[in-house]
Amino acid sequence: MIYSLFIFDFDGTLADSKDNIAKSLNSAFKKNNLPEIPLENIYPHIGKLSIAKTILEFYPELSERKVQELREDYITRLNQNVKEELKFFPGALETVKKLKEKNKKTAILSVKPKEQIELVLETFEIRHLFDSIHGNGTSEFEKPARGCVEFIVSDLGLNIENESILMIGDSHVDVEVGKNAGIDMFGVSHGITSPQELTELGAKKILKSFDELLSFA
């Protein structure tokens, strides 16, 4: 299969952002007099839920107002440290560049708010590598809804029925995106979810390295 549109999950797929996220979350907890959470307990939640829902996973008794305060503190610290704490996985950006050279469309679909993704891409001067971004709050739909993929396709002026689309991710949420949208999904071997589990959930292929994608372009 040759694909025309490659949709990437962000955290855990393109970017190794777990320390940036986990440390920023604990910083928000500490600032608001809540016990910090062991980092290894935060990692499994990354890329699966919005930060507000993640906060409620640890402290379900919090009010909506308090969750919003924590979210704001989290975002402030996250953005201040992104350059030092976030890095891209080996081969990720090089592969996206080569896909663009092949005139392929590329997009990001994440539970992270679009403005945060934009900030990261601008910080690393790579915004031009992605044709469309759908993050939490971008539309009425939340990942893994089919509507997220439909939004990206529409944003690019395409028709979902006429395109060969591939979702690339590292969690069961990304597998669900593929199933809900009726598109193929490839898993990465370096993410939070094991390759075996991703395969059992329905991933069509597990990428051992990003450049394997070029064989499908």
Count the Cβ atoms, other than its own, within 10 Å of residue 156.
16
Domain count, the chain: 2
Q: Identify which of 65, 117, 113, 114 has the alpha carbon closest to the alpha carbon of residue 56.
A: 65
105: left (phi over 0), alpha (psi -120 to 50) or beta: beta
Q: Are residues 65 and 127 in the same domain?
A: no
Q: Are residues 201 and 115 in the same domain?
A: yes
Residue 216 vs residue 44, higher pLDDT: 216
Whether 16 shows a pLDDT value over 90: the answer reads yes
Which residue among 45, 68, 85 closes a domain?
85
Q: Are residues 133 and 177 in the same domain?
A: yes
pLDDT of 13 reads: 97
CATH number, residue 146: 3.40.50.1000
Q: Are residues 156 and 61 in the same domain?
A: no
Q: What percent of the chain has pLDDT over 70?
A: 100
pLDDT tens for each residue of 134-169: 999 999 999 999 999 999 999 999 988 888 999 999
Q: Are residues 71 and 31 in the same domain?
A: yes
Q: Are residues 203 and 135 in the same domain?
A: yes
Residue 82 token pair: 């992104």
pLDDT tens for each residue of 95-132: 999 999 999 999 999 999 999 999 999 999 999 999 99
Domain extent at residue 199: 5-16+87-216
Which residue among 85, 100, 131 closes a domain?
85
* Rounded Cα gap, residues 101 and 169, in angstroms: 22
Whether 57 shows a pLDDT value over 90: the answer reads yes
